[in-house]
Amino acid sequence: MIPLLEMDMLLALLAPRGRASHKGDFGHVLVVGGDEGFGGAALLAAEAAARCGAGLTSVATHPAHAAAFLARRPELMVKALTDPAQLAPLIDRATVLVLGPGLGQSIWSRSCFLAALSQAQAQQKPIVLDADGLNLLSHNNTKQIQSIYQKWILTPHPGEAGRLLGKPTSDIQANREDAIRQLQQRFGGAVILKGQGSLVCTGQSPRQRLEQCQHGNPGMASGGMGDVLSGVCGALLAQGFDLATSARLAMCAHSKAADLAAADHGERGLLASDLFPWLRRLLNP
What three-state secondary structure class fits 96?
Answer: strand
Kindly indicate the confidence band of residue 139, based on its pLDDT and cuts at 50, 70 and 90: confident
Of 235, 227, 198, 202, give the one whose Cα is nearest residue 213. 198
Question: What is the signed CA dihedral for 69, 71, 74, 77, rounded to 10 degrees?
Answer: 30
Which residues on neighbouring strands pair with residue 56, listed in sequence order? 28
Summarised one tens digit per residue, pLDDT across range 105-125 is: 999 999 999 999 999 999 999
Q: Decide if 79 contacts 11 (C-beta within 8 A).
A: no
Residue 113: what pLDDT? 97
State pLDDT tens for residues 220-247. Answer: 999 999 999 999 999 999 999 999 999 9
Cα separations (Å) of 187 from 90, 190, 201? 25, 9, 11
DSSP β-bridge partners for residue 129:
99, 154
Q: What is the mean pLDDT of residues 12-23?
A: 95
Compute the radius of gyration of the chain from its Cα atoms.
17
| Domains of the chain, CATH where assigned | 24-282 (3.40.1190.20)
Q: Which amino acid is at 264?
A: D
**Per-residue pLDDT at 251:** 98
pLDDT for the residue 241 = 98
CA distance 238 to 152: 12
pLDDT in tens, 165-194: 999 999 999 999 999 999 999 999 999 999
Q: Do the beta carbons of residue 237 and residue 243 sit within 8 Å?
A: yes
| 28-32 vs 56-61, strand pairing mode | parallel
Q: Is 106 helix (H, G, I), strand (E, B) or coil?
A: coil
pLDDT of residue 228: 98
Model confidence at 283: pLDDT above 80: yes
Q: What is the pTM of this model?
A: 0.97
